[in-house]
Structure 1
Amino acid sequence: MALGGKHLFGSIGEQRVTFIEKKVDENRKDFLKKLLEHNGFEVILEEENKANEEDPQLYTVAVTDMTFNPTVAVFERKLKTLDGRKVSQDYWNQTTDETKPQYWNNGEK
């Protein structure tokens, strides 16, 4: 589940949540958990059911802030990395550790 325009929400157990991403691997779960907690969000994790034992464990990542929309937060540059830089779309998607250029690419590196 990459960044999309929809604000996806629901429940995990009795807790109302905004879903960040569903069916992510452990590496992605850990990345999102650290990033979101660093930005002051309470993160809720849920293990997905596995079809069989050989399948890797997947997770749902959510936050308790019902007004949080990850797409808006990334494109409005409201989230900070652990070292204080503004999170870009590529950083969010873990395609690079670089946070520039912003989501628009004006040809500059």
Structure 2
Amino acid sequence: MASLDGKHSFGSIGETRVTFVEKGVDEDRRDFLKQLLEHNGLEVVIEEEAKKTEEDPQLYTVAVTNMVFNPTIWIFERKMRTFDDHKVTQDYWFQRTEETKPQYWKNS
């Protein structure tokens, strides 16, 4: 199960200084993150990762040019918005659900 890491990871893609959002993601995850981050006003930079063998799936690194962006902070401080203007939750970020109620737990 994926979780949010509070660590701020930054570096460069080409000549552009970036904050890394996620590394080693597939095409579907790349597209979701790109759309969500751009919707929230962030400039996204994508880099194809090198394949070890030709049979390996193509993976990508997703980054933003905002050097202070940290997904953990933006999600838990409720700064990110979904496409229908709800707050992004941790489960929405990881594409576990499309439910956008701003709660992080369920009482059964």
What's the TM-score, normalizing by structure 2? Answer: 0.94
Q: Which residue of 1 aligns with 2:9?
A: 8
**CA offset at residue 3 of structure 1?**
1.6
The share of aligned pairs that are identical, in percent, is 68
Displacement, 1:106?
4.8
Which consecutive unaligned segments of at least 5 residues does structure 1 have?
Answer: none
Aligned equivalents of 1:35 and 1:21: distance in 2? 13
Give CA deviations for 1:9-43 in whole Å, capped at 9, x if unaligned. 01101110000000000000000000000000000
CA contact (8 A) 1:89 1:102 kept: no
Give the unaligned 5+ runs of structure 2.
Answer: none
Contact 1:2–1:21, Cα closer than 8 Å, also in 2: no
Aligned partners of 2:66, 2:3: CA distance in 1, in Å?
A: 19
Give the aligned length: 107
Letter in 2 for 1:76: E
Root-mean-square deviation (Å): 1.3
Residue in structure 1 matched with residue 82 of structure 2 by the alignment: 81
Deviating runs (4+, > 4 A) in structure 1? none
**Mapped partners of 2:60, 2:44: distance in 1:** 12
For residues 94 and 77 of structure 1, what CA distance do their matches in structure 2 show? 17
